[in-house]
Copies of this chain bind each other. A is one copy, B any other.
Amino acid sequence: MIDRMSTQPISLDDAFARFTDIWSPRIVATINDYDVRLARFAGEHVWHVHENTDEFFLVVDGEIDIALREDGDERVVTVPRGAVFVVPRGTFHKPSAKDGALVLLVEPSGTLTVGDTHDEVPDHVDVTTGHAL
């Protein structure tokens, strides 16, 4: 799979069509020791933090909200289709997508979807470092 990923282009539409699970990222490409992951967002994820890595979001379709805890305050960033956002390392955050969204993420391989510390994980959130497409 890795070989194929690195030798042929992959349409994001085709890649998203290969899975329907929400909050369960697929690895569409690797860049050295980083993953490019595709995820379907729908409803709410879980508050969590990645202590040692930033996390990049590009909204491919739909719109997402990312709640952030910063300096004791909470704010919500809305990221529309075609926009990018980086959650800095060490920042507690909770992504959500009221009406669903398709999202491309970039982060180091091995990064867990629920981070290093998190609230209780609901059943609809997959605890994973990403699945093969």
| A interface residue numbers (CB < 8 A to B) | 5-6, 8-13, 28-32, 34, 36, 53-56, 58, 77-80, 82-86, 88-89, 104, 106-108
Q: How far is the CB of A107 from chain B (nearest CB, A)?
A: 7
Which listed residue (B10, B34, B82) contacts A106, Cβ 8 A? Answer: B34
- For the complex of A and B, 10 pairs with smallest distance between CB atoms: A9-B85, A9-B79, A9-B83, A31-B56, A11-B83, A31-B54, A29-B86, A6-B86, A12-B82, A6-B88
A106 touching B12, Cβ below 8 Å: no
Q: Give the chain B neighbours of A83 by CB distance below 8 A.
A: 9-12
Q: How far is the CB of A114 from chain B (nearest CB, A)?
A: 19
